[in-house]
Amino acid sequence: MATPIFRPARPDEAATLTALTLRSKAHWGYDADFMAACTAELTVHPAALEQPTMVVELAGLILGWGRLAPIDAATVELTDLFVAPEAIGHGYGRALLQHLRTIAVERGFRRMLVESDPYAADFYRAQGGRDIGTTPSGSIPGRELPLLEFALVDDQRRA
């Protein structure tokens, strides 16, 4: 069995990452109107991949991806973490999140914020994320999303 690898995303993969993202989001049962409202926000643009963006790949197939965006010297945001529906539940998301946390620690960040889809919030909590409030959806007026925080300083002490 092949071992998954983590590597930086390439700008020419933006369309592939967009398709994976939309399939991953739709996996949770959102209807066509909801997905149409989210498509612009979920579209991956090549220039955005200049931020730290990693894919998890197995035998040449991208199974998931995630991106970090610095907020300030101490705080980074996990702006994206999506796993292909057929790969959900196999540990790829957890491994990708840990890989991105390691990158954040190596770059000196002390905390990581995540604006989570409600269906993904329990995943982040199980990985050590702590609820710190809510934040408005960028796509759906009036919808609030869970806001979680990871304390990366604990990761630094373990290193």
Q: Express each pLDDT in 39-67 by its tens digit.
A: 999 999 999 998 889 999 998 999 999 99
Residue 132: φ, ψ to 5°: -125, 5
CATH 3.40.1350.10 is the classification of domain 5-158: no
Q: Are 92 and 60 in contact (CB under 8 A)?
A: no
What type of residue sits at position 112?
A: M
Q: Which residue has better confidence, 39 or 137?
A: 39
Is the pLDDT at 69 greater than 50? The verdict is yes
pLDDT surpassing 70 at residue 2: no
Give residue 159's pLDDT: 43
DSSP string, 71-98: -SSSEEEEEEEEE-GGGTTTTHHHHHHH
**pTM: predicted TM-score of the whole model, two decimal places:** 0.90
When pLDDT is averaged across residues 25-39 and rounded to a whole number, the result is: 93
Q: pLDDT tens digit string along 76-99?
A: 999 999 999 999 999 999 999 999
Q: What percent of the chain has pLDDT over 70?
A: 95
Angle at 139 between CA 26 and CA 49, to 5 degrees: 75
Query: Would you state the pLDDT for residue 154?
Result: 60
In 3D space, the residue among 83, 75, 103, 72 whose CA is nearest the CA of residue 26 turns out to be 83
